[in-house]
Amino acid sequence: MEIVLRMDWLCLKCMSLLVLINLSNTHPQDLDTIDFQSEVVSDDQGEFDNLMMFEIKCKSNKCSVQDRREFYQDQKCKMLKDFKHHSHVLCDPGMSNTHEKLDIKQIKPNKLKVRRHKRAALFRPDPMDMRDFLDAQTYHRFAVIKSYIEELSSRHHFVSIINLGETAEGRSILGVKIGNSKFGKETPSVLIDGGMHAREWITVATALQIIGRLIKVFKSVSDSSCSNVLSSIDWYIVPVLNPDGYEFSHESDRLWRKNRRPAPEGSTCEGVDLNRNFEIGYGLGADTNPCSEVYKGTHAHSEPETLAIVQLGTQLNTSLLYYISLHAYGQSWLTPWGYKTGAVENMEEMVTVAKNAFNEIICNYGKEVPSREYEVGGAADIYYTAGGASDDWVYEKTGTRFAYTIELPDDGREYGFLLPAEDAPQVAEDIWVALKSLALQTVARTL
């Protein structure tokens, strides 16, 4: 039995190498072609009509991200995104726009947005059971998502639901396993999460479309005597890691970021920033103030959502090919470290793999498209020092050499967190192309 398994391992690696060798001559749409021509569903940002978007920059290197945070918190602004040298916030138009350390200017949306190019399918797509997909142009609520993955598990023998715990408000943290565990405990695995930050709806929509694409791959293998690299992997996907916050962002506060942990004693502010709650670098670049958007919690791994990733990562450990945490916005592929500057041991390899995957997105369309450009590099180098992030923990504590945070579109100059649902299918398709490339590359480099 051991000899047979070892031969299967070698065959799997050979398959991935052969595919990689032929990537330059292969169109990703040959492997998976889906036409998303359905009714447009768009976001409504009416609750923010009286607020304006501002960019806050430091005037000198003596200014820090904490100076920016203190200013916009004092002005009662809504934090959108902190970058290394500037912040995006929503504020009252009458706010003070003068500060000795800061340059403050209003951002006007770029009306000359570069539209995403539509791909013309070169081959007729295979027939699909649309029950395997949720509508790609809708930001679905958690109850719909829960019903969807439950229905998938009831219809497909290679799909199972993993209950990873319960949130503060009593919702289940659900993961989906797609795979046949072909090599038993030695089966290579991939872990992907979406919806860690509540307002980043595009991450949930992308994770759901990845689930649908994987179902199609495994069904095609089940219906034939053929196999491929993707179906030899066990895929673990947590589409909504933060269901409490996600629902709150639909019902009460569209720009809510944290989970819904009840306010600690002495405070009236709920929620913990889950991506500041992991133990690696815990507390660095985070806040002890419960009212802050980057509140770290009372202690590392205090939150059930954090423990869900720790539990899965610990379980998969040495079988893990790669980990992806989907975030928005910014269009960046971030590597560890987040809690400190400087390169990880295999930084060159991680950057090469990420850039190869990104290049597959470009190759899929035959030209470079600005709306698909991603910056690749260390999280602390591209953004700012922020400890307690999930990718740092997975990279440090499991056996994988590849852990990334992908900041999805847009780049913040048009929609930010309010990306219209009509743009979601294209984002999901781009990431699906990249994740297939990551799988092939990491199999070839790991096994």
The residues annotated with a catalytic role in the active site are 407
In the three-class reduction of DSSP (H, G, I as helix; E, B as strand; rest coil), residue 49 is classed as coil
Position of tokens 């403050």? Answer: 104
Cα–Cα distance between 150 and 370 in angstroms, integer? 38
Let me know the angle formed at the C-alpha of 191 by 231 and 384, rounded to the nearest 5 degrees: 140
Residue 419: name the closest of 166, 171, 205, 189 by CA. 205
State residue 207 phi and psi, 5-degree precision: -60, -40
CA 108 to chain centre: 27
What tokens appear for 328 in the block? 């928005």
Cα–Cα distance between 255 and 268 in angstroms, integer? 18
Q: Given the DSSP bridges, would you call strands 403-408 and 320-328 parallel, antiparallel or unpaired? A: parallel
Helix axes 347-365, 424-446, angle to 10 degrees: 130
How far from 47 is each of 50, 91, 254, 380, CA to CA, in Å? 8, 13, 8, 33
Position of tokens 């700012």? Answer: 384
What tokens appear for 292 in the block? 């802050």
Let me know the angle formed at the C-alpha of 175 by 314 and 256, rounded to the nearest 5 degrees: 100
* Residue 50 · residue 92 · CB < 8 Å: yes
* Residue 173 · residue 164 · CB < 8 Å: yes
b/e 103-124 (16+ beta carbons within 10 angstroms → b):
ebeeeeeeeeeeebeebeeeee
What tokens appear for 110 in the block? 């770029």
Q: Where are the beta strands (DSSP E) in 222-329?
A: 234-238, 320-328
Q: Where are the beta strands (DSSP E) in 302-428?
A: 320-328, 332-335, 375-378, 403-408
Cα–Cα distance between 212 and 196 in angstroms, integer? 20
Q: Given the DSSP bridges, would you call strands 86-91 and 52-58 parallel, antiparallel or unpaired? A: antiparallel
Q: What is the DSSP letter of 124?
A: P
Cα–Cα distance between 182 and 100 in angstroms, integer? 62
Cα–Cα distance between 332 and 359 in angstroms, integer? 14
